[in-house]
Amino acid sequence: MSKITIYEKPTCTTCRKVAKALEENGVDFNKVNYFIDPFTKTKLKSLLRKMGMKPSELLRTNEKEYKELDLKNRNYSEEEVLNLMIENPNLVQRPIVEKEDKAILARPPERINELF
């Protein structure tokens, strides 16, 4: 079976639920805390492509950084949003689960079933 990678924030409840579900089903996976091992622009672009999402669709809109940057009212390009996400990892929705050429935003956690 192919290796699965979870891009997470360890304190996130949804991230912990996804990891627990994979463990309970005997799935081999890696965890990447993207606050310690940040996304590169290339990696985040790759994940977005695999998810079929634009950067603006992966934003956490309730974060203080979202409000401070006035992302709701400012007209940022998708490239600018991507750069802001690299600079401010709290802006990235989580967890992102990657398996080979597919990735999903595992919200709700049951979405991981789409990878199997």
CATH code of 105's domain: 3.40.30.10
Q: Which of 2, 3, 10, 12 is the catalytic position?
A: 12
* The predicted structure's pLDDT at residue 1: 53
Is the pLDDT at 2 greater than 90, yes or no? no
Q: How many helices, marked H, and strands, marked E, lie in the chain?
A: 4, 4
* The predicted structure's pLDDT at residue 33: 97
Question: Is residue 114 domain-resident?
Answer: no
Is the pLDDT at 46 greater than 90, yes or no? yes
Domain span at residue 20 reads 4-109
Is the pLDDT at 113 greater than 90, yes or no? no
Mean of all residue pLDDT scores within the chain: 94
57-102 confidence digits (pLDDT tens): 999 999 999 999 999 899 999 999 999 999 999 999 999 999 999 9
List, in order, residues 6 or more apart from 46 with CB less than 8 Å away: none
Whether the model clears a pTM of 0.75, i.e. scores above it, the answer is yes
- The yes-or-no answer on residue 15 being catalytic is no
Rounded CA gap, 88 and 102, in Å? 24
Is the pLDDT at 54 greater than 70, yes or no? yes
Question: Is residue 23 domain-resident?
Answer: yes
State the total domains in the chain. 1
